[in-house]
Structure 1
Amino acid sequence: MNKVIFFSGAKPPQTGGEFYNYQLSQYLETIDWKHEYVSLHQKKHYIRLSKIPIFGNLLVSVIFAFILFKYRGYLVEDHYFSKYLWLTNFIRRFFCKDKIIVIVHLFYGYDSSDRFVIRKVLNGMIEKIRLSLADLIITSSEYSKNEIVSVGINPDLIHVLSPGLDRDKFNLSFNLPSSSHELNHRNSKKILCVGNYVPRKGIIYLIKALSQIQYKEFTLDLVGNRKDNSRYYNLLANAVEKLKLTECVVFHDGSDQENLKKLYASADIFVLPSLKETFGIVFLEAMHYGLPIITTNVSAMPELVEQGKNGILVPPADSQALAQAIKTLIEQPNLIQQMGEAGRKKVADSYYWEHTCSRFVSIIEKMN
């Protein structure tokens, strides 16, 4: 079996996509497959050259083709870096005859629902070109697969491998969620939002929604990485102060995993009003802890959250609808209990990393 080379982001992983890639590589280690995990995040000093007008991306592609040439075998690359790897892929495909597997976590420019037709067509052509050299494509949801197919990629090349839940990390070493009776007598409901401080997560709409709830019978814990997203974090912090929510909104560092587990364990409601997600591992984590979920009714969210069953779906960028959904759960503790239990049952016997990783191995073996 040829060596499997991962071209991915940060190590240790900092995002859901990076964690997905890392889990696949770690599984190969448990079955004694030769592999290597190459963090392109550590080479970001080269990526900064892409900001040079006109030929920046070309320059980075040439540099990467040179420094990555020593890695031979099956190439598994994160699509986020594909725009810098097109020359590497061209050389490997036509001269080295290496197999190329691309993992697509998100299209950052293209959206099949984009109403601006010219932008949609141009971005679609770019994505198709970036994926054209892939022997195989892996993605995490049916929504994401449909997006890839919509740019003109053969659906037979695309495999949907849903992420798993890290049950070792999030072991349930705490009391089960409160009963509806206990929730009724709790003075304040605890709302949890876990997502990096970037516009795509729609957190600003959550803050605006909370300002519309007259009785402040809640606390909101926001968990994210502010280090690389200081501009949006400052926007959120300023909104909290302007809307006079400083006493009920708390920002937390997303890198503190022990604190995150405590927040999940003590929360009553999970809210993440993303504008776009191709999956969302945090939704699995929230369901694992028995939390009802409030999120949006777009992209992959409806695949995980069933309206009225394990959560509530609202339109994206709609703070008024979001406020109404939060009020519904605050005012009806029995729904918190019912939806939380439904979510926990949904993930109890599914979303195992072992299954996802074994399918990944099976796919590679068939390519051999």
Structure 2
Amino acid sequence: MKKLRIAWLLTSAFYYWQPTMKSLSQLFAETKVFTSRWHGYAPGLENSFQVEVVGERKIVSLTKSEQSYGDNFTYLPLTIIKPLFTFKPDVIFSNSFGMWTLLVLLLKPIMRWRVVIAYEGSSPGVDYRHSAPRLALRRMMVSLADACISNSQRGGDYLKTVLNCPPEQLFVHPYEVPLPHILAVESPAPDESLTNRVKPPLKNDSACVFLFVGGVIARKGLNFLLEACRQLESQEKGNYELWVVGDGGQKADLECWSEEQGLKERIRWWGRVDYAGLGSYFHQADVFIFPTLEDTWGMVVLEALVCGKPVLCSQLAGACELIQEGKNGFIFDPREPQILAQKMAQFLEQPSLAAILGEQAKTLMEQYSPEQAAQFLGRVAETLCPLSTP
């Protein structure tokens, strides 16, 4: 066990962060997550890493956009200072360019800790390329940081070419990755505490099940996926179902539209499902579809791949970099539903295609495990503090 003290500052330590935090804690016992939004440990990861909740975050929406993240400001409690002083980390990984990142950068000369800016990925709604004040502040923060990391090459390019991160201080590798066994629930045992929304019935073996998981909001592009289904229906393309797992402001309107278009028997609306129940949906589906109009990363893509499902992935998601065309899925422009319909039709015309691509999907994810993500973070930390390990 290595002796480096590592702090992770996460505005929201949601479940998809936790597999890597567990593996990092197994490499560096003195690893601690500080967060302002805590949902509890993911099932199977209870007490697998240290966590301290520091106040509550407040998100102020400056401008709203239906098809983008919009312009937001996140207030984070300044009380983070005392816990960090007590913990005395050698290296701090701080998520994005928020208040906590700025604070730890300004305190660097006093505390002598090393600071890594973790930028999940690049997208128009979070890059602020047309905001001179924001870019100036971010460039200043990058100049003060010891290193920057990103899940995607797209995020790395933004850090390097827009924010002027020196190449030798930039590290790119997926670090938000799922743990397979958390989602490995193919047929949950009967549990009276679970609703039918958590435990779906067994699929009809004769139908190809396409799966969507996400918020039913404009940014996620579900309306384009439904239009692709309408086109499949008009072409009488095979036997399939679309399972929609999620909830949001567009749900009622899209359900109504689907019925009007004759898709009532094709679309199954499951509503919101607890994270512990998602594995059943992933495993019963044949193909996962992610039609997002903007996502810096897209963890659901990796969750589908690790479950051995091919993915039809929007080119506007950071995680599309993991899709190898024709090997573990296909990439498409979500604003062209006719193209998406053609790609969906391939799985209907070639029933064995989903299984073939699914096996390759699972093989690909072997190189993106939480253990490898933790090793990547460890290499970054040790590069900054080479004398802190035995």
**TM bracket, shorter-chain basis:** 0.7 to 0.9
1:204 correspondence with 2:254: no
C-alpha deviation, 1:275, in angstroms: 2.8
Relative to structure 1, the CA distance from residue 193 to residue 78 in structure 2 (aligned partners, 3 Å threshold; closer, same or farther) is same
Q: Which residue does the alignment assign to 1:249?
A: 267
Q: RMSD of the alignment, in Å?
A: 3.5
1:232-289 Cα distance to aligned partner (Å, 9 max, x none): 4455445434544333322335543453222222212211122344443333332333
Distance in 2, Cα, partners of 1:283 & 1:124: 29
1:94-148 Cα distance to aligned partner (Å, 9 max, x none): 3333221221113454688x9xxx8276764454345443221121122221122
Distance in 1, Cα, partners of 2:255 & 2:144: 43
Aligned residues of 2:289 and 2:311 also touching (Cα < 8 A): yes
1:155 correspondence with 2:167: yes
Relative to structure 1, the CA distance from residue 3 to residue 239 in structure 2 (aligned partners, 3 Å threshold; closer, same or farther) is farther
Distance in 2, Cα, partners of 1:187 & 1:71: 56
Q: Which residue does the alignment assign to 2:312?
A: 294
| Structure ranking higher in helix proportion | 1
Distance in 2, Cα, partners of 1:85 & 1:148: 19
1:273 correspondence with 2:291: yes
1:91 correspondence with 2:106: yes
Query: Superposed, which structure 2 residues align to 1:281-360 within 5 Å?
Result: 281-298=299-316, 300-347=318-365, 349-360=366-377
Distance in 2, Cα, partners of 1:34 & 1:94: 22
Q: Which residue does the alignment assign to 2:208?
A: 189
Task: Please report the TM-score for the alignment, with normalisation by the length of structure 1.
Answer: 0.76
Q: Which residue does the alignment assign to 2:10?
A: 8
Letter in 1 for 2:180: R
C-alpha deviation, 1:291, in angstroms: 2.5
Relative to structure 1, the CA distance from residue 240 to residue 8 in structure 2 (aligned partners, 3 Å threshold; closer, same or farther) is farther
Q: Which of residues 100, 118, 126 in structure 2 aligns to 1:103?
A: 118
Distance in 2, Cα, partners of 1:66 & 1:141: 31
> Quick one: percent identity of the two aligned structures?
19
Stretches of structure 2 that go unaligned for 5 or more consecutive residues are: 39-53, 64-71, 188-203, 386-390
Distance in 1, Cα, partners of 2:83 & 2:306: 42
Q: Secondary structure at the match of 1:150?
A: helix
Q: Secondary structure at the match of 1:333?
A: coil
Aligned residues of 2:152 and 2:297 also touching (Cα < 8 A): yes
Aligned residues of 1:254 and 1:260 also touching (Cα < 8 A): no
Query: Superposed, which structure 2 residues align to 1:68-83 within 5 Å?
Result: 68-72=81-85, 73=89, 74-79=91-96, 82-83=97-98
1:12-69 Cα distance to aligned partner (Å, 9 max, x none): x15xxxx23x3343234334622322222267855246869xxx969x47xx334434
Relative to structure 1, the CA distance from residue 67 to residue 206 in structure 2 (aligned partners, 3 Å threshold; closer, same or farther) is same
Query: Superposed, which structure 2 residues align to 1:20-39 within 5 Å?
Result: 20=17, 22-31=18-27, 33-39=29-35
Distance in 2, Cα, partners of 1:172 & 1:45: 33
Q: Which of residues 221, 234, 250 in structure 1 aligns to 2:243?
A: 221
Letter in 1 for 2:213: V
Distance in 1, Cα, partners of 2:57 & 2:281: 38
Aligned residues of 2:19 and 2:178 also touching (Cα < 8 A): no
Stretches of structure 1 that go unaligned for 5 or more consecutive residues are: 175-184
Aligned residues of 2:311 and 2:323 also touching (Cα < 8 A): yes
Distance in 2, Cα, partners of 1:221 & 1:132: 46
Distance in 2, Cα, partners of 1:140 & 1:300: 8
Q: Secondary structure at the match of 2:367?
A: coil
Task: Please report the TM-score for the alignment, with normalisation by the length of structure 2.
Answer: 0.73
Distance in 2, Cα, partners of 1:207 & 1:255: 20
Distance in 2, Cα, partners of 1:344 & 1:4: 31
Query: Superposed, which structure 2 residues align to 1:119-158 within 5 Å?
Result: 119=130, 124-125=135-136, 127-151=138-162, 152-158=164-170
Q: Secondary structure at the match of 2:359?
A: helix
C-alpha deviation, 1:330, in angstroms: 1.2
C-alpha deviation, 1:166, in angstroms: 1.0
Relative to structure 1, the CA distance from residue 342 to residue 23 in structure 2 (aligned partners, 3 Å threshold; closer, same or farther) is closer
Query: Superposed, which structure 2 residues align to 1:224-235 within 5 Å?
Result: 224=246, 226=247, 230-234=248-252
C-alpha deviation, 1:191, in angstroms: 0.8
